Structure 1
């Protein structure tokens, strides 16, 4: 077996360079720091989803430190527990986090899963099934362009995903090839392949139900009503965004679940700010209505 190449943060993540980009990063950091200092601590109950992408080989310490600190703010729960709370089948009587990672990178297996298992933290991995199944250039190259990492990164194998499941990690779908679903409205065959096909790939390979889906890129502009309907019809029970919005049990759709993005290198004060609900805004009502209205007239959301 060939040795696994070392994947570091500096080599793996593209950061815009130049004076303007540096100034924008510094300004954003200053704004977040100021907002975190002004944020009031809340002792009330909440349920909040947190989503990342990687734990590179030089980030183990940073990631474990974040997990320990987040556990001091709330309890980590499974997707099933999250849905029970959102649908009113379990009370919102504490402070809860749901943790997930997109893209299925092997760095999560090497560096994240052992830490999650040690601290008994459940998590969900949203994977691109075609990339797991094949490293052919016709599959791999479009995925690399779409994910835009700084170097060619390894993804988890089916054997590693099975082992991750044994360690308490759930495997969910992220489309077969990391495509933007809002661009497939006129191509129903490909839409079905990316959504229902990903579910079939995962269930056939792992022998367990695939319940949850996260759409690539994560904003409301990256999905539409036809895709939401296809997700429901494929048999998924939940779909996750990367929109910073509150989760309101009984009202928030289980097919447009907000998630707060974070990564291990982020300063703790910034992660804590988002974990406490910083910058949460109600979902854009016009776009949300378009997503959930005509195609989903028979929806049973808010049960």
Structure 2
């Protein structure tokens, strides 16, 4: 499988893996957080060990881009480790492992949220939906904006798992609708500090600077984690330009790389990135990167804890290596989700 992928890729595999949160207590965190964002410290360490054993050399993103563009030749297959969102537990639990093992990494930051007490819209919605679910349906929820009613109905009816329903919701609506839904749910649930999730806090700028001094790299992930394909082009321009400027100013580094929120991109967004001095952007399309590919649609394999859980419920080295080697894709057992979307398309009618 690995040899076939090398042939497909033009001689060397360039695997970019993506994580979100590295947590100390996976089982405990699973009770209150979006599952697909989590990986335990132990599994994360095993992933890095497994990648090395599978023949990959860990490389900074810039080295991988040079190989893809033909500016240098790699002696081995390359793996680039990336993190989206700048969660603080990456600093607490992932950073020490990376540093100990000498593995470089790229962290994509939602610049406006770093160093604040704010939480992501997706984490806030997940937390509020769990509170509604625990309380049970009440007449107070009858008068809600239509998108919020649809989301609540889908979750409470059990037609979809909460995380799946939330993914679909974020995929359909712009940031303004997410905020409106959060506000509506908070009003019905009543005032109180418990409306804001305790978990999901983000790094501060001192932590970013500390990692940057150890040669870890940082890219932009918009200002406030905005799915740019939902927004007009003037919002795209501001989110791209100002996120880059803020990270450069606060961390004292040059920002040249970008991660699309939700992995979604458009031709218009790529043009904005190029115009603002970026050299690359990553998607969440789980496909091989090939020599000569466009650096603004880099493919990534998004991983979490359950990608490595075998039939017995424990860590499976064989399954994990199959994930890294993309055995299921080669065999046609899964279809990658494309990230290209039309820019600022009219909202589709939601069908549940």
- Paired residue secondary structure (1:50): strand
| 8 Å Cα contact 1:54/1:107 also seen in 2 | yes
CA RMSD of aligned residues (A): 2.8
- Counterpart secondary structure, 2:22: coil
Q: Which residue of 2 aligns with 1:25?
A: none
- In 1, Cα distance between the equivalents of 2:221 and 2:79? 20
Change (3 A) 1:248 1:233: same
What is the aligned partner in structure 2 of residue 261 from structure 1? 302
Q: TM-score, normalised by structure 1?
A: 0.72
Check if 1:100 corresponds to 2:82. Answer: yes
Q: Deviations over 1:196-237 (max 9, x none)?
A: 11101100101110111010111xxx2211111111111111
Question: Are 1:248 and 2:290 counterparts?
Answer: yes
Q: 1:107 to 1:133 in 2, by over 3 A?
A: closer
Are 2:307 and 2:323, in contact at CA under 8 Å, matched by a contact in 1?
A: no
Which structure has the bigger radius of gyration? Answer: 2
Structure 1 stretches lacking a partner, 5+ long? 1-39, 292-303
Structure 2: distance between partners of 1:260 and 1:271 = 12
C-alpha distance after superposition, 1:95-130 (max 9, x if no partner): 110110101001100010110011100000011111
Which residue in the other structure is 1:198 paired with?
A: 243
Query: What's the TM-score once normalised by structure 2's chain length?
Result: 0.63
How many aligned residue pairs are there? 242
Q: Residue 229 of structure 2 aligns with which residue? A: 182
Shift of residue 135 of structure 1? Answer: 2.9
- The aligned residue for residue 125 of structure 1 is 107
Q: 1:189 to 1:147 in 2, by over 3 A?
A: farther
C-alpha separation in 1, matches of 2:41 and 2:120: 28
Q: What is the CA-CA distance between 1:93 and the residue it aligns to?
A: 3.6
Aligned positions of 1:1-303 closer than 5 A? 40-42=1-3, 44=6, 45-58=12-25, 59-73=40-54, 74-135=56-117, 140=119, 142=121, 144-145=123-124, 151=197, 152-184=199-231, 187-218=232-263, 222-250=264-292, 252-267=293-308, 268-278=317-327, 279=329
Partner-residue secondary structure (3-state), 2:114: helix
Matches of 2:127 and 2:99 in 1, distance apart?
A: 29
